[in-house]
């Protein structure tokens, strides 16, 4: 139970809620057991009265039984309200911790490990851990309390019968544990098959155009069929094992009833026990059988939770490679210098840049040209410090980039990515995303500068138009221009265009470049482009040759 130790501080944090939960467990069990003796007493009372009809004694017993049952119900409700609520809160806190760590990790951290996998599993893992936090803890405590109270009552009634009827129960726990473990394994396999289906469906939805262009509908349908078939097989396999779960429990209930009947019958004949007491035993055993089964189940749940927690810990222990250790806030001018910068992608070993040096004064512009794969986008990543150089250094305003407050620095960067990425949100929010307090007039002003205002006005909902999966599909050029507006609205000091005008016709490109003349002169701009015409506007042009390009060797 090593990995689960990480959760102890969480338990401690919610100790008050959990403490109440334990009290409620004791109370609900107490009343659950307390009422049983009155069932026996009623049976005996009835069998001792000769005449049928009103029996005051029995009526009181029935009253106690009903009252106890109500209290049991109430305390069970309260127990769930405390323990399950605590487990949900801990789950929430854990999820937030995982998510914020995810946001902190750098770009290379994501690629080096199988983080995609990890992220997929984490959501499942958190659920597994919650099962340990809530039901796991609850059932174990429940069993212990129940066992204690029931044993006292049972031993008070008859010792040898108590021993006989308790004997098979640990075995039941063990068998249920084994069955649960198999169920867990199989349900994991089934989940995998299910997620394969959803990935496939998602893929074929987003790739629907490609599928239709290539007339591959039948092929896709056939593949889908195979995947669904696989899921069906696995679901059936699981259902078969699950069927054992209750069968075993019911079998043991039957078995124990026979034991009680046999032994109890003999004791009745030898006048050791009354019919009522034997009836009590039936009830005690039926109450105990569920928690004993649950302990088997919980053991397997806890094993799974431990494995899950270990994975979560492994993730939380990952240290980001990009560390921001400065927190002062100051303005950035925008002088940039690359000194002998080399960069090798750690996952592939591809050397994207080799000893690159250049200098841009604040307010000037640099166009970067070069063949595909020559390392242009890598320069943009380095400049925003999404990655750190393998060799050499980058200076901003004469200071090594690593010695800048990263958050402060990035506030001064405007970046238009090569593949325009917009969030599934309104156009207004996508443009306003870059700043803290966007307002619609400002958004419109920058949409005009990026020459996309007139397109937006054609949409029915104008700036409220949703983009992406659940909204309007934008053309490549429209997306690019919204991304440009988003970068400019920040009034950056360093502006990076990563081939961001490629989807535009030359006329629109000219329009934009003219509109942003003032923006460009007020900041240092880096324009990655394949077009001579755009490059010529810049103060300098950098021509990259690919490190691996045989022509440059
Ligand atoms: N995340 C990555 N992991 C591994 N290698 C990468 C990664 N990104 C880029 N590379 C490699 O680094 C080299 C430079 O890539 P980069 O994206 O900087 O080229 P680029 O000049 O922007 O090309 P393009 O004009 O096609 O956009 C390429 O050989 C590419 O395969
Ligand atoms: Mg690129």
CATH number for the domain harbouring residue 194: 1.20.1560.10
Whole-angstrom CA distances from 283 to 26, 169, 257, 464 are 19, 15, 10, 64
Q: pLDDT under 50 in the chain at which residues?
A: 549-553
Which protein residue's CA is at the shortest distance from atom 27 of ligand 1? 372
Q: Is residue 44 part of a domain?
A: yes
In this prediction, residue 551 carries a pLDDT of 42
pLDDT of residue 553: 36
- Which numbered ligand comes closest to the C-alpha of 379? 1
- The residue from 256, 287, 316 where one domain ends is 316
410 falls within a domain? yes
Q: Are 355 and 526 in contact (CB under 8 A)?
A: no
Looking at ligand 1, which residue's alpha carbon is closest to its atom 28? 373
Name the 3-class secondary structure at 386. coil
Among the bound ligands, the one closest to the CA of 546: 1
* 325 within some domain: no
- Whether residue 308 is found in the same domain as residue 429: no
Same domain flag for 309 and 345: no
According to DSSP, residue 492 is labeled -
Do 377 and 312 share a domain, yes or no? no
What integer pLDDT is reported at residue 53 of this predicted model?
Answer: 62
Q: Give the C-alpha distances (Å, rounded to integers) separating 216 from 101, 201, 208, 229, 333.
A: 41, 14, 10, 20, 54
Domain end position, chosen among 316, 349, 381:
316
pLDDT tens column, 110-121? 555 555 556 666
Residues near 230 by Cβ (< 8 Å), separated by ≥ 6?
193, 196
**In this structure, are 37 and 91 located in the same domain?**
yes
Q: Ligand nearest 417 Cα, by number? A: 2
- The reply to whether 349 and 311 lie within a common domain is no
Residues 504 and 430: their CA atoms lie apart, in Å, by 20
The pLDDT value given to residue 470:
58
Question: How far apart are the C-alpha atoms of 456 and 427, rounded to whole Å?
Answer: 8
Residue 439 and residue 477 share a domain:
yes
Report d(CA 523, CA 539) in Å as an integer. 13
> Atom 26 of ligand 1 has which residue's CA nearest to it?
372
d(CA 246, CA 174): 14
Nearest-ligand number for the alpha carbon of 416: 2
Of 316, 351, 376, which residue constitutes the final position of a domain? 316
With the most atoms of ligand 1 within 8 angstroms of its CB, the residue from 115, 116, 373 to mutate is 373
Task: Kindly list the distances between the CA atom of residue 132 and the CA atoms of 11, 140, 305, in Å, as whole numbers in the listed order.
Answer: 12, 10, 6
Q: Are residues 94 and 189 in the same domain?
A: yes
CA of 551 to the centre of ligand 1 (A): 18
Q: Output the CA 420–ligand 2 centroid distance in Å.
A: 12
Give the position, in ligand 1's atom list, of the atom nearest the Cα of 548: 29
Could you identify the residue written with the tokens 């942003």? Answer: 516
* Total of domains in the chain: 2
Q: How far is the CA of 371 from the centre of ligand 2 (A)?
A: 9
Residues with CB under 6 A from ligand 1: 111, 345, 347-348, 350, 352, 370, 372-378, 418, 499
Residue 303 shares a structural domain with residue 363: no
157 located within any domain: yes
Atom of ligand 1 nearest to the CA of 418: 27
Is 372 in the same domain as 306? Answer: no
Longest dimension (CA), the chain: 114
Q: Within a domain: residue 323?
A: no
For the domain that residue 475 is a member of, what is the CATH number? 3.40.50.300
Query: Which atom of ligand 1 lies at the shortest distance from residue 379's CA?
Result: 18
Claim to verify: residue 281 and residue 401 sit in the same structural domain: no
Q: What is the DSSP letter of 494?
A: E
Residue 533 lies in a domain: yes
Cα of 382 from ligand 2 centre, angstroms: 13
C-alpha distances (whole Å) from 121 to each of 97, 124, 131, 139 are 15, 5, 16, 26
Q: Does residue 328 sit within a domain?
A: no
Residue 337 Cα to ligand 2 midpoint, Å, equals: 20
Model confidence pLDDT, tens digit, residues 477-519: 888 888 888 888 888 888 888 887 777 777 777 777 777 777 7
Cβ neighbours around 416 below 10 Å, total: 25
- Which pLDDT score is estimated for 552? 41
- Do both 340 and 402 map to the same domain? yes
Pairing of the two strands 391-396 and 336-344: antiparallel
Which of 32, 3, 544 shows the shortest CA–CA distance to 317?
A: 3
Range of the domain at 347: 336-552
Question: Residue 310: inside a domain, yes or no?
Answer: yes
- Please identify, by atom number, the ligand 1 atom nearest to the C-alpha of residue 371: 25
Say yes or no: 222 and 346 in one domain: no
* Contact partners, residue 39, CB within 8 Å, separation at least 6: 61, 65, 276, 279, 280, 283
């Amino acid at each position: 139970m090593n990995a689960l130790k990480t959760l102890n501080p969480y338990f401690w944090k919610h100790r008050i809620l959990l403490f109440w939960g334990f009290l409620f467990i004791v109370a609900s069990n107490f009343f659950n057991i307390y009422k049983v003796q009155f069932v026996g007493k009623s049976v005996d009372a009835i069998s001792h009265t000769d005449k049928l009809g009103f029996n005051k004694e029995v009526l009181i017993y029935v009253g106690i039984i009903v009252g106890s049952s109500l209290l049991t119900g109430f305390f069970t409700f309260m127990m769930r309200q405390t323990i399950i609520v605590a487990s949900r809160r801990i789950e929430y806190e854990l999820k937030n911790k995982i998510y914020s760590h995810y946001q902190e990790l750098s770009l290379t951290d994501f690629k080096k490990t199988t983080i995609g996998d990890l992220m997929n599993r984490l959501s499942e893992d958190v659920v597994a851990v919650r099962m340990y936090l809530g039901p796991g803890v609850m059932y174990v405590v429940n069993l212990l309390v129940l066992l204690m109270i029931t044993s006292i009552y049972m031993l008070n009634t008859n010792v040898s019968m108590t021993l006989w009827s308790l004997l098979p129960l640990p075995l039941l726990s063990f068998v249920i544990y084994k069955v649960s473990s198999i169920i867990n394994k199989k349900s994991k396999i089934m989940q995998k098959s299910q997620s394969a289906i959803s990935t496939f469906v998602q893929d074929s939805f987003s790739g629907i155009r490609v599928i239709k262009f290539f007339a591959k509908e039948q092929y896709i349908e056939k593949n889908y069929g195979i995947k669904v078939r696989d899921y069906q097989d696995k679901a059936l396999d699981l259902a078969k094992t699950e069927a054992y779960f209750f069968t075993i429990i019911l079998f043991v209930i039957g078995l124990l009833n026979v034991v009680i009947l046999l032994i109890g019958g003999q004791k009745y004949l030898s006048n050791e026990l009354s019919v009522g007491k034997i009836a009590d035993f039936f009830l005690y055993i039926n109450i105990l059988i569920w928690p004993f089964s649950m302990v088997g189940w919980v053991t397997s749940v806890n094993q799974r939770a431990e494995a899950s927690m270990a994975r979560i810990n492994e993730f939380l222990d990952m240290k980001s490679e990009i560390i921001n250790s400065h927190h002062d806030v100051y303005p950035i001018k925008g002088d940039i210098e690359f000194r002998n910068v080399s960069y090798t992608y750690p996952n592939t070993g591809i050397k994207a840049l080799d000893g690159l040096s250049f200098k841009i004064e604040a307010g000037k512009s640099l166009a970067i040209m070069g063949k595909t794969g020559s390392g242009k986008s890598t320069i943009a990543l380095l400049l925003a410090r999404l990655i750190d150089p393998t060799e050499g250094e980058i200076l901003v305003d004469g200071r090594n980039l690593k010695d800048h407050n990263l958050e402060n620095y990035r506030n001064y960067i405007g970046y238009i990515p090569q593949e325009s990425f917009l969030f599934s949100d309104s156009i207004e929010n996508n443009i306003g995303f870059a700043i803290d307090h966007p307002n619609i007039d400002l958004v419109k002003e920058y949409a005009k500068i990026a020459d996309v205002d007139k397109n937006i006005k054609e949409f029915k909902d104008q700036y409220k138009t949703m983009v992406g999966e659940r909204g309007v599909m934008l053309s490549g050029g429209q997306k690019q221009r919204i991304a440009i507006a988003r970068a400019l609205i920040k009034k950056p000091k360093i502006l990076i265009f990563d081939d961001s005008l490629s989807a535009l016709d030359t006329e629109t490109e000219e329009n934009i470049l003219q509109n942003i003349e003032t923006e460009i002169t007020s900041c240092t701009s880096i324009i990655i482009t394949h077009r001579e015409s755009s490059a010529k506007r810049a103060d300098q042009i950098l021509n990259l040759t690919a490190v691996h390009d045989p022509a440059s060797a």
